[in-house]
Structure formats: C-alpha cells, structure tokens
A and B are shown apart, each in its own frame.
Chain A
C-alpha cells in the first residue's frame, strides 16, 4: 500500500483526470446540477420582480403561472425571493467555506511541518473540534450581534479544525519526501519550503475539502437563519424563508417546502460531488471505493 502511494501519479495528470471522470459519470451529473442551480440563482434576479416589493392585494397566493412559488403575507413574489435568497445562501456558504479552508490549510501546514508545535496545536484543535456549532454561533450572536459577521466567525471557527487535521496528515507524509529533504539541505527556509514545495501538493486536498465542508456550511447557514441568528430579514435566505413560511404551514405548506427542498437538494449534490472528488485525491478514500467496487463485482 505504501509503495502504491509513493509511486501514485500526481493528481494533476490530465489523463488520470479524464479516466477518473469517465469511471465516475455521476460526477458530471451532480457537478453539472450544482453549477446549473448556482447559475440560475445568480443570473435570474435582474429579470424577476423586486423580491422586497410588497403587493397587499396579492397576499398569500398559492403557486401559479404568474407567481411560480406563490406570494407571502406582504404579497412579495416568493420565486424572486427564492432566487435572491439563493444568492445570499450560496454566497454565505462559499465565504464560510473559503475562510475556514484557508485558515485550516494554514494551521495544518504549520502543525504538520513543525513537529513540536504541531503536537500542541493538534491537541487544541481536537478539543475544539466537536464543540456544538449552534452554541458557538449563539455566543457570537451575542457578542457581535446576530448577522453575517457572527455567523461567519462562528461557523469558520467550527469548520477550521476539520481541514487542519486532514492537511496536517498530508503534510506529515510529504515532509519525508526526498525533494522536501533536498530543499531543506540546500538551505531553503522552512516557510519557503512550505510555500513552494508542500502547499501546492496539499491544494487538491484543500479543494475537495471545500466541496465537502460547503455541504455542512449550507446546513448550518440554514439553521442559523432559521433561528434568526444568521442574516436577518428583509434580506431573504433559504433558511429564513422557511422560518417565515412556518406560520402558514397548515394553509400554505409550499412556503416551507420549496426553500427547504432546495437546501436539501443542494447539500445532497455537494455531498455526492465531494465524496467522488475525495476518492480522487485521498488514497484512503480511494482504497475504500475500490474495495466497494470489488465487492460489487464479486456479487455479480
């Protein structure tokens, strides 16, 4: 197994990418759908009615040709709110993910390269890892006031350790490679070695981590908006749309169903894409996937 790892082709090899995609056709479907939803949400709002324009005459309409998702208690068009909420929710998810992966990669690099500091860092990381994120968000909502900043801080802090651990274990494997040793022997400083030789080798892993974490980020973003601890009305998010629709659950269930279903679908696609990509860069995951495949073949 270790020999296999050492001689494994690099993840950026184009032919390998092509074979991988051919072997995992679902990746194209899930990735394509993700891009499609994102594009729809990003490009559509200019052509839709103002998501915050009240129209008291047309309050609480059911879905129809004119209002695809109906209207809410102020007569606002729910489809335009859905689209603009998508911009906010997807944007927030991306922001949180990028911040935590960047920070986590940095911590992982340092903790992996400097052995002694690394042990101390990892103990701290382990301790903070599973602290309930909603509780932390509550604390930050009190400290900086509920909104974008508190959500960003809380969720970034919660998600950073996941990336840090994965990147660190990768760095630990890389530091024993001959080219890293060669760099060190030829007098290259530790920071430069990290930036030039080690960081590029951890990037594929960081990208996959982005996809996997964004699924969790979207769920937490939803819960926080739902509780009123995230981005607050009148700005629509998928989470606070569900919260708004809650009052009319009995009479207008679609107000709750549509935005929630979008989150579920989006997260589901992110999970599928993420685990397929993980098999591409993570040898352990690849091993497990091969194992599954072999099992399946044995069954036939």
Chain B
C-alpha cells in the first residue's frame, strides 16, 4: 500500500517535470521576441530590456531553463503579465468556480448513472428503464457548446427560469449560486452521464458472462439479489476509473462552459491568457492542470486498493 503511494508520488513528480520542461521549450520556440510582442512597437529599448529580464528571457536558453526550474522548485511560478499578480495566486483565486462545476456535475452524473444502470439491470424488461438508458446515450453526440446555448435560449431567455450566466460563490449566497449553477451543471451532466452509462453498461455486460453467476443461480440466489449484490458492485471498478480520469479532463474541458456562462474560472483565465499571450500564466495554468490530472490518477489507484482486495495483494 505504502509502496503504491510512493511510486505514484514519484510518477507525479516525473510527469510534472516533463510537462513543465516540454512547455518551457515549446513556449520559448515561438518565433519573435515575446517582450516586443507584448509591449508593441512604441516601446523603448530600456522597457524591452526590463520586461525581458522580468520574463527570464535574458542569457542563453539553458541558463533561462535552469533559472525557471529553480524558481519553480521554490514555488515561484512567475508573475502574470496581464494581471501583474503571482501566477499561483491567480490560479487559486480562480479555481473555486471550476472545482464547483466539476465536482457538482461529476457527483450528479455518477449518481444518475448508477441509478439508471441499476434500474435497467434489475428490471431488464421495463420498457421505461430501457428507454431512459438509451436516451442518456444520445448525450454523447451533443456538442457541449451548442447544448449550453440551447439551454440558455430555452430556460433563460424564453422561460426566464434561470439567469443567462454569472457566478456567485456557493457559500456566500446559496440561493443565487444554485440558480446560476443549474444550467452549466446540467449541460455538463448530460455529456458525462452519457459517457458513464456506456462505461458502466459495458462493464455490467462483461460481468454477466462470469461463471460465478451460474454458481449463485445454482445455489438458488434470486436474480435480483445476484444483480444487486454481485454484478453491480463488481462492475463499479471501471466506472470509478472513468470518473477519476474524467474529472481531471473535465477541469480543462470546462473551458467552453465557463466561457458561455461567463463564469470566472480557471478555463476562462487560461483562455484569456492565450488571447493576451500571457506566457507565465499559461505555463503555470497548464502545469497545474497536469498536476490535478496525476493527482486524480493517484486517488483512483488508492480507491482501487481500498475497494478491490486483489489490487492490495499485488
């Protein structure tokens, strides 16, 4: 158990190092002088020199790299050019809305998935159950940005049930926050539930081919009990992996939703950084998302070890 954690922590460091280094050289390979681009044509040579120094663009490339690496190791990810704030602080200021969206939509779609798949597995003859199950899977084909705009058109502009966008911290004013979150979360839930139901259904079907079911039936266990006690719990593992990995990519994928519903999250910040060519912010933001990604992997592995005794032994 401890070995797994240590190995994963080592992987985490390696991945961050690789992503950071790759990003460093990718961003440095952009033709032209970033300082000149940022300051425009009217900048004086002194201003250019100062900005270059601030950006860590002076000296040979390997020196710049070591300088950057040293800074990162001491927790200094640089200063955002556009906002003139430390990158790390910008990320933490903007992470709350993104996390709220990601957590809320993941939890809701996970529960929905388990409900729907359980229903259809226990009552395979129920037409409504099968219809709901099939209908969820349509969600896989719907482009998120389009679904979001349709939701805004119908439920915000036409019926006026929800606001068209905006963000209020959940604990500051729960009532407003929930009405504002309803539409973006619902849109995310549609896509995620589709994906998760398919994963779980495949997993259930795979489980149904197992021979232990025959044993269970032979000793007289009821069909319903077989499904609830054996098949469904055993098919949860792949779903858990998908939830974990999906959560990390959701943090990045939420960009579209954030930009439509005008939510000041990590995605919007990152997108703004691209338009403004704010290199330190881009670098820090992407590394942070990579960090979350590896961290989720780690958590999924640990959850595996807790759920599945086989993993713990090996």
Contact = CB atoms under 8 A, between A and B. Distances in A.
Given A227-B259, A227-B271, A139 B282 contact: yes
A134 B270 CA distance: 11
Interface residues of A, number: 43
Given A223-B145, A260-B143, A287-B209, A295 B153 contact: no
B145 A226 contact: yes
A135 B140 contact: no
A239 interface: yes
A223 B289 contact: no
A263 B143 CA distance: 7
A138 B141 contact: no
Q: At the interface, is chain A mostly helix, strand, loop or mixed?
A: helix
A162 to B, nearest CB: 13
B205 A288 contact: yes
A36 interface: no
A261 B146 CA distance: 8
Interface string B141-160: 11111100110110001000
| A127, A132, A143, A223 pick with most chain B CB within 10 angstroms | A132
A215 to B, nearest CB: 7
Interface stretch (B21-29, B75-83, B229-237): B21-29
Contacts of B26: 139, 143
B149 A134 contact: no
Contact of B256 (A131, A134, A256, A291): A134
A291 B203 CA distance: 12
A135 B273 CA distance: 12
A249 B157 contact: yes
| B138, B145, B208 pick with most chain A CB within 10 angstroms | B145
A266 to B, nearest CB: 8
Contacts of B145: 222-223, 226-227, 239, 242-243, 260
B146 A134 contact: no
Interface string A197-220: 000000000000000000100010
Contacts of B246: 130
A132 B255 CA distance: 10
A74 to B, nearest CB: 21
Nearest to A272: B141
Given A138-B270, A299-B125, A132 B149 contact: no
A38 interface: no
A24 interface: no
B89 to A, nearest CB: 20
Contacts of B29: 143
A257 interface: yes
A267 B245 CA distance: 23
Nearest to B208: A291
B140 A271 contact: yes
A295 B157 contact: no
| 5 tightest A-B CB contacts, nearest first | A132-B252, A260-B146, A268-B141, A135-B252, A267-B141
6 contacts: A127-B15, A132-B250, A132-B252, A135-B255, A263-B146, A264-B146
